[in-house]
């Protein structure tokens, strides 16, 4: 049923768009904020709702519902781009194009539900830490 799929996908999107990064975020560097964002995103996409959002996609939805889901995904993308811009501004991140970097990061992150097994050798927390370390190394400022 289209309504059930829409509700499932909206629940996953809501987990990210309503994320409370905490009051300390106003003084955090863009890098630290991105780390927090990536950890939360990894935790979200390996749970049932997140895996459904990623693996099912929006194509099975009716056009009106597809538009709703795409708008929610754009909000998540916008959050990451703003964090990347903040990191470039405070020099804690180095990327010439925050939009392209966001798409690259989401491409990497969104593949996780296809290979990660919650009952495998890594916990979700360990996975999130390792993924975050690897991704942030690629956009760290060079000294």
pLDDT string in tens for the chain (143-residue length): 788 888 888 888 888 877 666 566 778 899 999 999 999 999 988 988 788 878 888 888 999 999 999 999 999 999 999 999 999 999 999 999 999 999 999 999 999 999 999 899 999 999 999 999 999 998 988 87
Q: Which one, of 109, 67, 101, lies nearest residue 82 by Cα?
A: 101
* Residues 94, 87: Cα–Cα separation, whole Å: 7
| pLDDT at residue number 20 | 63
Q: Which one, of 85, 134, 74, lies nearest residue 108 by Cα?
A: 134
3-state SS track over 4-15: HHHHHHHHHHHH
Question: Whole-model pTM above 0.75?
Answer: yes
| pLDDT at residue number 2 | 85
């Amino acid at each position: 049923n289209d309504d059930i799929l829409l509700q499932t996908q909206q629940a996953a999107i809501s987990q990210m768009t309503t994320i409370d990064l905490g009051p300390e975020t106003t003084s955090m560097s863009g890098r630290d904020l991105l780390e927090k964002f990536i950890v939360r995103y990894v935790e979200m996409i390996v749970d049932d709702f997140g895996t459904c959002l990623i693996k099912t996609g929006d194509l099975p939805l009716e056009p009106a519902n597809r538009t709703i889901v795409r708008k929610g995904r754009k909000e998540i993308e916008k959050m990451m781009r703003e964090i990347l811009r903040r990191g470039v501004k405070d020099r804690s991140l180095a990327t010439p194009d925050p939009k392209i970097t966001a798409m690259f990061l989401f491409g990497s992150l969104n593949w996780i539900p296809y290979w990660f097994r919650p009952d495998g050798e890594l916990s979700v927390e360990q996975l999130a830490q390792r993924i975050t370390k690897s991704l942030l190394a690629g956009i760290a400022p060079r000294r």
